[in-house]
């Protein structure tokens, strides 16, 4: 069953490439959207990777990333509004 998690991890890792391309080009708002998309993909990637290697403790990384990307996204949005 580990193979399924590894395959999902590989596909999710490949999904980071379009996010990176969108982060590199485009205006500031589009870059922020790509960054948020990348954080969602990374959360799922960490879950699948830790399940593939049977390391339950690494699920905490996904929890921490989900919580921190929430605050980071809101902060970047405020910067984008030019109110900070």
Partner 1 sequence: MHLVHEIVVWASLVASATLVFLCAVGVMVMRDAYQRLHFIAPPATLGALLVVVACVVDEPRPAAWLKAIVVMIVLGAMNAVVTHATARAAFVREWGAWPPPERAPIRRMKREDT
Tell me which residues touch partner 1 (CB under 8 A).
Answer: 1, 4-5, 7-8, 11-12, 14-19, 21-22, 26-30, 32-34, 36-37, 40-41, 43-44, 47-48, 50-51, 56, 59-60, 62-63, 66-67, 69-70, 73-74, 77-78, 80-82
DSSP letters spanning 44-78: HHHHHHHHHTT-GGGHHHHHHHHHHHHHHHHHHHH
Report the nearest approach of partner 1 to the CB of residue 43 (Å). Answer: 6
Report the nearest approach of partner 1 to the CB of residue 23 (Å). Answer: 10
Nearest to 40 by CA among 65, 60, 20, 58: 65
């Amino acid at each position: 069953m580990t193979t399924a998690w590894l395959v999902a991890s590989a596909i999710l890792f490949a999904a980071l490439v379009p996010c990176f391309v969108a982060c590199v080009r485009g205006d500031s708002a589009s870059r922020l959207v790509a960054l948020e998309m990348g954080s969602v993909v990374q959360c799922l990637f960490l879950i699948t990777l830790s399940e593939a290697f049977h390391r339950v403790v690494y699920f905490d990384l996904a929890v921490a990333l989900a919580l921190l990307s929430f605050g980071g996204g809101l902060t970047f949005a405020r910067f984008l509004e030019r109110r900070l």
